[in-house]
Amino acid sequence: MNMINNNTPTAELQKLDAAHHFHPFTDKAALAKKGARVILRGEGCWLTDSEGHRILDGMAGLWCVNIGYGRKELGEVAARQMMELPYYNTFFQTTHVPAIALAAKLAELAPGDLNHVFFAGSGSEANDTNIRLVRRYWQVKGQPEKRTIIARWNGYHGSTLGGGSLGGMKPIHAHGGKIDGVEHINQPYWWGEGGDMDIDAFGLARAQELEAKILEIGAENVAAFIGEPVQGAGGVVIPPKTYWPEIQRICKKYNILLVVDEVITGFGRTGNWFGSQTFDIKPDIMTIAKGLSSGYAPIGGSIVSDDVAEVVGSGGDFNHGYTYSGHPVAAAVALENLRIMQDEGVVDHVKNVANPYLAERWSKLTDHPLVGEAVLTGLMGSIALTPDKAKRAKFASEEGTVGLRARERCFANDLVMRHVGDRMIISPPLVITPAEIDILIERATKSLDECYAGLQKDGLLVAKAG
């Protein structure tokens, strides 16, 4: 085989990719026919593909490249750490400087008494850790039957068997099943599921499903509730303001641990360091990954409260861990990422510059005939596509048909904007400038116009009956 490099023709790369690379969440046969887009490099909010297109990355990779692409400092730190100590484990009463420094930094940044970090290689792994942690917590406290975890339909917590089970995505459960002791309640998605209910009343009602579920199972059998402050992969569903205070109240009342999955909302995404601060949530355990290293190295973890650390820590060995828990190179990269975020005021930029600027333009998208609602918190946002705004109607076509068509138009216009069903979502790098936001809105609007024209032409602007 010839050397493959950035100059290899796209068609050849695509052919090899189709032959040997099994992609996540991808229809292998369909991709082989079409050929994957090959990304060669990134700079700031911009990607360059093998055809020379400059693409505005409205998704920060997969919600993770918070400080943007091309920061050489992170590469330099990684190289230095690789030469000094490329690997050592944190098992068997051993540690190393990058893991110590990162744990201490996270304890400083995380709210409340979240002072102890269990490292993982990803968000999925961290949530698998959380399943063990919450069950072990109640075991040590002498209540081993308290082991069921309550989560939400359309939540996303990863795609390991544990993470996928906590998530409420049926297509994921369908591929390989789900572990026992996980129950789901409905999501706080007002626009899509609230009907004519007042939004705040709906938020309360959806939170109170947690209480009903706890009473159904028996509080003596429930270990924890897990949720994302804002559902990301589920379509950027921002809960009504009544939702989280009620969830918090119910967890406290029934002595249930609260696990807040901040894999997307952590590290500035909502305009504060953590979504828990934006939504005033006090978790016992927080899941982190993605923005922790801005995606430059795979790392995740669980930040746990003094109480959880003390209880689990008093039970002898905790029989859990990963070869790469606290990996020194990943930890050093994450630390440098956090240093840059702090020194350059990235979170303040989101709160005071990028969010206010984008919020105004994003909300105006509802002037477009296709857009039913536009929501945004910090720099994660979504729009609902609809054939009839007044009725918040769904399309008659299979869900996702229109979203996919809109995404295709974005793709053609060199904008990465994803679809989840018939919602379009954005989550750009946190360093995006007002000028780049203008380009994002311009390309999004052009794509929506083209999508709308295509739907008219193909007779797809039809609302679902009922």
Among 42-50, 119-127, 339-347, 441-449, the segment contacting ligand PXG (CB under 6 A): 119-127
- Among 14, 66, 90, 122, the residue binding ligand PXG under the rule CB under 6 A is 122
**Least distance in Å: CB of 232 to ligand PXG?**
5
Cα–Cα nearest to 319, from 121, 140, 456, 59: 140
- Among 123, 192, 283, 295, the residue binding ligand PXG under the rule CB under 6 A is 123
Distance CA 458, CA 32 (A): 27
Which two structure tokens, joined as six digits, stand for 116?
Answer: 């102890």
CA 383 to chain centre: 17
State the number of CA atoms in the 13 A half-sphere of 223 facing the CB. 29
Number of residues located near ligand PXG, criterion CB under 6 A? 17
Does the footprint of ligand PXG cover residue 156 (CB under 6 A)?
yes
- What residues numbered 372-431 form the site for ligand PXG, per CB under 6 A? none
Residue whose C-beta lies closest to ligand PXG: 123
Q: Which CB atom, from 121 or from 203, has the smaller least distance to ligand PXG?
A: 121
**Least distance in Å: CB of 26 to ligand PXG?**
11
Distance CA 293, CA 281 (A): 23
Contact assessment for residue 266 and residue 290, using Cβ atoms and an 8 Å cutoff:
yes
Q: Which CB atom, from 90 or from 122, has the smaller least distance to ligand PXG?
A: 122
Distance CA 254, CA 217 (A): 12
State the number of CA atoms in the 13 A half-sphere of 114 facing the CB. 27
Q: Which CB atom, from 155 or from 387, has the smaller least distance to ligand PXG?
A: 155
Q: Which CB atom, from 264 or from 365, has the smaller least distance to ligand PXG?
A: 264
**Least distance in Å: CB of 45 to ligand PXG?**
18
- What residues numbered 294-333 form the site for ligand PXG, per CB under 6 A? 300
Distance CA 278, CA 378 (A): 9
**Least distance in Å: CB of 154 to ligand PXG?**
12
Phi, psi for residue 204 in degrees, rounded to 5: -65, -45
Q: Which CB atom, from 159 or from 452, has the smaller least distance to ligand PXG?
A: 159
Distance CA 463, CA 4 (A): 49
Contact assessment for residue 286 and residue 110, using Cβ atoms and an 8 Å cutoff:
yes
Each residue 245-274 as x (binds ligand PXG by CB under 6 A) or -, in order, gives: ----------------x-xx----------
CA 306 to chain centre: 26
Sign of CA dihedral 253, 257, 262, 268: positive
* Bridge partner list, 49: 39
Judging by beta carbons within 10 Å of its beta carbon (0-12, 13-18, 19+), is residue 353 exposed, middle or buried? middle
Q: Which CB atom, from 296 or from 452, has the smaller least distance to ligand PXG?
A: 296
**Least distance in Å: CB of 161 to ligand PXG?**
12
Does the footprint of ligand PXG cover residue 228 (CB under 6 A)?
yes
Distance CA 337, CA 299 (A): 12
In eight-state DSSP terms, residue 316 is S
**Least distance in Å: CB of 445 to ligand PXG?**
23
Judging by beta carbons within 10 Å of its beta carbon (0-12, 13-18, 19+), is residue 308 exposed, middle or buried? buried
Query: What number of residues does the chain have?
Result: 466
Query: Which residues contact residue 338 at a Cβ distance below 8 angstroms, ignoring those fewer than 6 apart?
Result: 102, 105, 109, 267, 292
Among 80-88, 151-159, 302-310, 360-368, the segment contacting ligand PXG (CB under 6 A): 151-159
Q: Which CB atom, from 102 or from 455, has the smaller least distance to ligand PXG?
A: 102
**Least distance in Å: CB of 167 to ligand PXG?**
8
**Least distance in Å: CB of 175 to ligand PXG?**
15
Strand 300-305 with 114-120, pairing: antiparallel
- Among 98, 203, 232, 240, the residue binding ligand PXG under the rule CB under 6 A is 232
Among 150-158, 173-181, 217-225, 319-327, the segment contacting ligand PXG (CB under 6 A): 150-158
Does the footprint of ligand PXG cover residue 289 (CB under 6 A)?
yes
End-to-end CA distance of the chain: 58
**Least distance in Å: CB of 123 to ligand PXG?**
2
Among 3-11, 101-109, 118-126, 374-382, the segment contacting ligand PXG (CB under 6 A): 118-126
- What residues numbered 157-176 form the site for ligand PXG, per CB under 6 A? 157-158, 163
- Among 18, 62, 140, 169, the residue binding ligand PXG under the rule CB under 6 A is 62
Contact assessment for residue 244 and residue 229, using Cβ atoms and an 8 Å cutoff:
yes
Binding positions for ligand PXG, rule: CB under 6 A = 62, 122-124, 127, 156-158, 163, 228, 232-233, 261, 263-264, 289, 300
